[in-house]
Amino acid sequence: MKEFIKKFLTFFLIINTGITIIFAIFAGNAGSIDVVSLWRIMLIAALTALVTAVVFSIEPKKHLTVPMIVLIFFCHFFVLSLIVYVGGTWFGWFERSLSGLLSVILSVGFVYIFTTVATVILTHKETNELNEALKDYKEE
């Protein structure tokens, strides 16, 4: 449970930052971001972080094939897009139209890439430490 909470908080902070960047880009022309929008951003970030933490906490019993990984990726992306689309249209961020849907897909795609890069950067040190420990273990 502790590991899940750590994953959730990490994803929440990264996703929240990514959504805030996107929101600032789209809403930047309209002026400042109000307090209500910040709470809404955090709500969407929390929901998507929860889904992401669940997906990355599942430990498969057998090795996943590439098609299965691709399917998981698309399902994950679809669920995140659905959350953002429903929340975004409810909050008035996106129109209920094809252009609104495309905006959601592009926004979720940006945050997805942003989260992936941030996660790789944050886990790089941990990965190096594990590799060194494995190398030391192998040498003994």
Indicate if the pLDDT at residue 73 is higher than 80. yes
Average pLDDT for 70-89: 94
Tell me if residue 14 falls in helix, strand or coil: helix
In this predicted model, what pLDDT tens digit does every residue of 86-134 receive, in sequence order?
A: 999 999 888 899 988 998 999 999 999 999 898 888 888 778 888 887 8
Indicate if the pLDDT at residue 26 is higher than 70. yes
Other CB atoms within a 10 A radius of the CB of residue 98 amount to 8
pTM: 0.80
Average pLDDT of the chain to the nearest whole number: 88
Q: Which amino acid is at 63?
A: H
Other CB atoms within a 10 A radius of the CB of residue 119 amount to 16
Q: Which domain holds residue 58?
A: 2-139
* Degrees to nearest 5, angle at CA 119 with 116 and 125: 140
Domain count, the chain: 1
- Match 């003994």 to its residue by tokens: 140
Write the DSSP symbol of residue 65.
P
